[in-house]
Structure 1
């Protein structure tokens, strides 16, 4: 999933954490310039679009997601 998100959003960093060790619940943190000028819902949609297939099969839920621009992450 990290590779798909990174490629789709040309992300500076992507971190996917398996929350309970079952592979079904994850937390996602993404830093990407693709988020510039977008609200939080639009940012999350970009991430969900990148991992749509995983959400249909392997992953049951994204328990938490942070989406930041490089400028926001540097603060």
Structure 2
């Protein structure tokens, strides 16, 4: 697992105590892209957390971006998010 993947996992786990967390590094699919050339990776996050209960999509994404903080936009150039509360599964 790459350093950035570890950092994403650690930060999301500490901030949101997920029931489920899956992170895919899709950077190889974007080779040559401007953000990739500058070192930023492309990631897909699928996270289930009770912290998302009663929150809309925008609020959930803001919680994730807040947890990742300074990783955006240098280490993470693009982030696809699927965030759910446990009762939505």
TM-score by length of 1: 0.85
- Structure 1 residue ranges (4+ consecutive) displaced by more than 4 angstroms after TM superposition: none
Determine which structure has the larger helix proportion and give its number: 2
Gaps of 5+ in 1: none
Matched, 1:25 2:11: no
Match of 2:86 in 1: 70
User: How many equivalent pairs are there?
Assistant: 72
Gaps of 5+ in 2: 1-7, 29-35
Q: RMSD over aligned Cα, in angstroms?
A: 1.4
Return the index of the structure with the highest Cα Rg: 2
TM-score by length of 2: 0.73
Q: Would you say the 8 A contact 1:31–1:69 is kept in 2?
A: yes
